[in-house]
Chain A
């Protein structure tokens, strides 16, 4: 059996610099696990 979780999360945030260009800021979602990892219910997989 398999479970697939699909979810929306902050992917990127763009911040204006003084010179008018943009840079990405923190706040993006990131996974804490990798393919092949064993996980248990309740363990963080992304933050």
Chain B
């Protein structure tokens, strides 16, 4: 930093290449980054020992709310849409693939044919690159990614654990009518709950049956009971970013929640409360042969846009004011009511875009 380190000490004396304040900021940033790397390493080590990371809200998580994340996301998206000269494309996409562990062998087109990083990011795959398990009794992964959480929802709270020490409400995530949730809680408080059986449950009572099931199971013989299960899958930047149908089902509704665009890395999951419930997302809800099914595609800062094949007009990550976060979701009900749109297992239903 100091010019006096080289050459004439008289000439260099007192002359800095960087102003003192800038140098101090750089040193501070370096220290913060080192601290962050140290913290992340500690988390990895604890995970290897089988110790789950715990929720620890911090000051930075509060500050992040003040950042114009939507504008940043949109700017990032427009940068990624800039056309790259043809001769540079293979080099850039190979570098991206190396950085984010993408498999270039399964890319549908030659690399030169993707005009921008955005086009490369939303790429399709070669025919047969993702074989679909044909077993009618199985549920397949809708995306490429890493399983973060899975399990069965139990009890009146019906919460999914974001990280040890903090959970979020499934009703809030999916935007399922609060009346259903209220009905479930009312049902629990009634003495005659055992009169209910899954056979008389209708399309709207999945929640009630699920919550009531601990009491129901003691009352019924040879009667298959239903549970509500969940699976949370995180997509890395290098992953294939299209969403496929996990089962044969009927999509009945589509909801779009215009929320924040917080990042979704492991650090954010550990520090930002209600991360998934607050972020912009699209929920497809319907029924399969076993009952209710819903998929929530949740955007992040760098991957903020969600495209839904059934809704070509839907625009996500729009330039909107902060107030829009408190608005109710836009909901679309598919006709004919109760049947909706039939979708086969493995069929592409949605996708993510950068920015």
Name A residues whose Cβ lies closer than 8 Å to a Cβ of B: 1-16, 22, 27, 29, 31, 33-47
Docked-complex contact A4 and B220, CB < 8 angstroms? no
B145 near A10 with CB under 8 A, answer: no
- Chain B contacts for A42, CB-based, 8 A: 130-133, 140-141, 244, 346
CB within 8 A of B225: which of A2, A6, A12, A47?
A: A12
B95 at the A interface (CB under 8 A): no
Q: A3-B295, A6-B174, A35-B147 are in contact. List 16 more A-B contacts (CB 8 A).
A: A1-B303, A3-B296, A5-B233, A6-B293, A7-B230, A11-B225, A13-B222, A13-B223, A14-B225, A31-B231, A39-B144, A39-B147, A41-B130, A42-B133, A43-B133, A45-B139
* Known A1-B300, A3-B142, A4-B276: A31·B150 in contact at CB below 8 Å: yes
| Closest chain A residue to B249, Cβ basis | A7
Contact B300 A4 (CB under 8 A): no
> How many residues of chain B get a CB closer than 8 Å to chain A's CBs?
69
A46 to B173, CA, bound (A): 22
* Chain B residues within 8 Å of A, Cβ to Cβ: 130-133, 135, 137-150, 152-153, 160, 170, 173-174, 206, 210, 213, 217, 220-235, 240-244, 246-247, 264, 276, 288, 290-300, 303, 346, 352
Given contacts A7-B228, A8-B210, A41-B143, contact A1 B223 (CB under 8 A): no
